[in-house]
Structure 1
Amino acid sequence: MMMGSNSTLWHWLALALAAVVVMAQSQIPRNLRMLNESGHRLEVYWVSPQGEASMMTNPYLYDGATFPLNTFVGHRFEIREVPNAKTGDCAGEEKVCRRAEFVVSENDDQAVRIAPGLEIEFRDNKVMARREADSLVTECEENAKTAMSAGDPKWMDNLAECVEIAVARKLEVANEEIAFQAQIRTDMATLLENYTCADEHSEATPDVRTEVWTSEKDGVPRAAHIKLDRPASRIHVVDNFIDPIECEAMESEAARTLHRATVADGKGGSRLSENRKAMQAGISVRWDREEIGDPIARLSRRVYDYANHVLGLGIEEHGQEDLMSIQYFGRGRNDTEPDRYTPHCDGDCTGLPHKTGTRMATMVMYCTLPSEGGATNFKNSGVHVKPVAGSAVFFSYIDPEARVMDTGFTEHSGCPVFEGEKKIVTQWIRLGVDSENPWNSFNTLGIKHADAANQ
């Protein structure tokens, strides 16, 4: 095999390494930096699809200056040379002022250097990735050439090992940077949590988009406000999800068995905790009454229908947890230990594969709202929900395709209730349960009780 015929191999290796180095996904908005090193004053214009030019600089981009710009993929910009302030001339042929153009790409971290002669040098994350990949491949290529020249039959194995080691080093550096930035994000979110909850003027997070979902059971169209839409982390607020009759039925059933709410104890059981101050009662759904319009069965069916609409996992009611009526009571702003639920994940939020039989989605339905407090806050994703009576927030923490869990974006809290009452209905939804393997056959660590007893 001749080395000259391997140019395609090196090319594809470089592209593969570039794909490894690029860590971000493309989005429509883009941040752009322009650096003027042309030796002349410049004007920057945005050119509309109709060809109309609008000046972006005020008035000039001076030599040596940097111009940051918030723009969008596909936007076209024109750079225009400004005549010399003393001579009135430009540096182009016959003293004509020169122009240059560029278009914003889909790539991240875009920088435009305007070099002498109004030459445009475009740099972005993919360009830099290819350069890094080329440098990695070059060293491995030289080693492979030397080995081939020496007649080493293992030159291809050595090449593969060289590339593997180089990629591993790059991935290690990239993963360290990702972990560092993720820790900064979560630390900042924790600091902001109490301020966000305490501020009654905190606005609800804007929608990513809004959809309309129509239940096949009642034919009612309901607006679904998409707040977060990641494969393993979704947050939706659905209007008019629970009606007053359903709320009243749940509250009436719960009145007989209300008790202090508990949290998982990390050992497979549950315990009381000051992190969760509320009253709760589990309500078993009478599925045999669904056909006669039982309001609790009707509500529960709607929950599973919506979960299947979003995730497509074919979830059934068999073996699922009871509906939970949860109530918080306000005792004034001076209460040092108000009813609340501090930040927590309803299921695993480790990014690891889903454990059969454990939770993977939650629906929280709002019946009664306090006059002060009681919002739902997803601190790590920056989503703040100010609920309306009758609405519901659905959030899932599993990638339905890869079956891996969220990495903390759905960690959430029930903000303190200061004045009034907050009454909600919650359904935790599990994957991998059925009539023979119901939810209560698993402990809070996701291990079957029978298996745990033998450990």
Structure 2
Amino acid sequence: MTGGTMVQTITPELRRWIVEQTAAGFSPESVLDAMVKVGWRQELAAAALEDSLREHRRQRGDGRGAGVAPAVPARSQAAAAPLPEISLSPSLPCLDAGDRQVRVLATLSLPRVVVLGGLLSDEECEALIDLARPRLARSLTVQTQTGGEELNPDRTSNGMFFTRGESELVRRIEARIARLVNWPVENGEGMQVLNYPVGAEYKPHYDYFDPAEPGTPTILQRGGQRLATLVMYLNEPAEGGGTIFPDVGLEVAPQRGNAVFFSYDKPSPTTRTLHGGAPVAQGEKWVATKWLREREFI
């Protein structure tokens, strides 16, 4: 691989080079960094890395490939830090959420996405909407320049936050989420409820906090980096309003009681967790969002 102008095509030679580097003991993260340094776009380099190692494992037929490290690097190669994660079994169509059985509707490995069916009951959805409606205000986003909040033209919804554990309903849902994703209740931010009228949307963005922004150290003092997101659909708009993942061409339709979970092992576009809320074409959309942090959120 050489510097200069590069036609960014994933060739058999590139795939072979990737496999050889990981087989020689270089971590996937270091291989990715090497590709970016010589001019590869980060998103394309990550896709080439993942696809090449997945194909190598498939050809070997042993599920991993001897000497080849996992395709998706953890936040620390020396000691992989845990992440919120839904434990899946191909033999079980439902997950035990303690007080409720939740269906697994779809999964994706990169980005790590799990679509859940029936996480909330119809009654819980209606109760959250009724409690949130009188407390709605124009949605704000985190201001990464300062660590505060700001109005963002990319986010045209109205919203509010429930304080963690503020009611029996909120506590019940938070306990269910914690059991499903194997993550402590106290590591979750307060649940945010959002309302999107016709035309409202949230343009594609990342949920983690950009380490390069000056306000990020202040934000991280409250509980560390965000590691995962759970979006719960409280109603079904007549048209539009899906959750989109542009990097992988995925759209999750908003269906009452269902949810989409996705995690990100580092604050980087290589996680391919770019996502957004598509514009509502008819009706309105209600969602509840739960963000999960590295440690207790205060």
Change (3 A) 1:283 1:361: same
For 2:260, the aligned partner's letter is V
Give the aligned partner of residue 276 of structure 1.
Answer: 155
1:184, distance to aligned residue in structure 2 (A): 9.4
Q: Give the Cα separation in 2 of the matches to 1:219 and 1:392.
A: 14
1:433, distance to aligned residue in structure 2 (A): 1.4
Is 2:290 aligned against 1:422?
A: no
Residue identity (%) = 27
Is 2:250 aligned against 1:383?
A: yes
Give the aligned partner of residue 112 of structure 2.
Answer: 234
Q: Give the Cα separation in 2 of the matches to 1:307 and 1:344.
A: 23
Structure with the bigger RCO (C-alpha within 8 Å, sep 6+) is: 2
Whether the 8 Å contact between 1:361 and 1:394 is mirrored in structure 2 is yes
2:227 paired residue among 353, 357, 360: 360
Q: Give the Cα separation in 2 of the matches to 1:347 and 1:368.
A: 26
Change (3 A) 1:285 1:184: closer
Q: How does 1:407-418 map to 2 (within 5 A)?
A: 407=269, 408-418=271-281
Is 2:208 aligned against 1:347?
A: yes
Unaligned runs of 5+ in 2: 1-9, 25-30, 48-88
**Which secondary structure does the structure 1 equivalent of 2:118 belong to?**
coil
Give the aligned partner of residue 223 of structure 1.
Answer: 104
1:302 paired residue among 170, 173, 176: 176
Q: Give the Cα separation in 2 of the matches to 1:342 and 1:256.
A: 25
Whether the 8 Å contact between 1:340 and 1:416 is mirrored in structure 2 is yes
Q: Give the Cα separation in 1 of the matches to 2:193 and 2:32.
A: 46
For 2:189, the aligned partner's letter is E
CA-to-aligned-CA distance 1:204-243 (integer Å, 9 cap, x gap): xxxxx9763422512525224102x14xx41110011111
For 1:394, the aligned partner's letter is F
**Which secondary structure does the structure 2 equivalent of 1:318 belong to?**
helix
Whether the 8 Å contact between 2:235 and 2:254 is mirrored in structure 1 is no
Whether the 8 Å contact between 1:246 and 1:296 is mirrored in structure 2 is no
**Which secondary structure does the structure 1 equivalent of 2:40 belong to?**
helix
CA-to-aligned-CA distance 1:377-429 (integer Å, 9 cap, x gap): 1112332212322210001112xxxxx34435111110011210101111111
Q: Give the Cα separation in 1 of the matches to 2:280 and 2:96.
A: 32
Q: How does 1:9-408 map to 2 (within 5 A)?
A: 109=12, 125=16, 174-176=35-37, 179-180=40-41, 182=43, 212-227=93-108, 229-230=109-110, 233-266=111-144, 267-286=146-165, 294-308=168-182, 315-318=183-186, 320-330=188-198, 338-348=199-209, 357-398=224-265, 404-407=266-269, 408=271
For 2:128, the aligned partner's letter is M
For 1:386, the aligned partner's letter is A
Q: Give the Cα separation in 1 of the matches to 2:197 and 2:282.
A: 8
Change (3 A) 1:430 1:213: farther
Change (3 A) 1:419 1:394: same
Q: Give the Cα separation in 1 of the matches to 2:124 and 2:34.
A: 53
Whether the 8 Å contact between 1:362 and 1:396 is mirrored in structure 2 is yes
Q: Give the Cα separation in 2 of the matches to 1:300 and 1:127.
A: 42
Bigger Rg, structure 1 or 2: 1
Q: Give the Cα separation in 2 of the matches to 1:263 and 1:182.
A: 25
CA-to-aligned-CA distance 1:97-149 (integer Å, 9 cap, x gap): xxxxxxxxxxx938xxxxxxxxxxxxx8269959xx9xxxxxxxxxxxxxxxx
1:320, distance to aligned residue in structure 2 (A): 3.2
1:348, distance to aligned residue in structure 2 (A): 3.4
Whether the 8 Å contact between 1:376 and 1:412 is mirrored in structure 2 is yes
Change (3 A) 1:125 1:271: same
**Which secondary structure does the structure 2 equivalent of 1:368 belong to?**
coil
For 1:180, the aligned partner's letter is R
**Which secondary structure does the structure 2 equivalent of 1:321 belong to?**
coil
CA-to-aligned-CA distance 1:308-345 (integer Å, 9 cap, x gap): 1xxxxxx3222632111100011xxxxxxx21001111
**Which secondary structure does the structure 2 equivalent of 1:303 belong to?**
helix
- TM (normalized to structure 2)? 0.65
**Which secondary structure does the structure 1 equivalent of 2:186 belong to?**
coil
Q: Give the Cα separation in 1 of the matches to 2:45 and 2:132.
A: 42
Query: When the two structures are aligned, how many residues end up with a matched partner?
Result: 229
1:185, distance to aligned residue in structure 2 (A): 9.5
Whether the 8 Å contact between 1:381 and 1:410 is mirrored in structure 2 is no
Instruction: List structure 1 runs of 4+ shifted beyond 6 angstroms.
Output: 170-173, 183-186
Whether the 8 Å contact between 2:32 and 2:45 is mirrored in structure 1 is no
Aligned-residue CA RMSD (Å): 3.6
1:359, distance to aligned residue in structure 2 (A): 1.5
Change (3 A) 1:387 1:257: closer
CA-to-aligned-CA distance 1:350-397 (integer Å, 9 cap, x gap): 79xx96523111110111121121011111233221232221000111
For 2:184, the aligned partner's letter is E
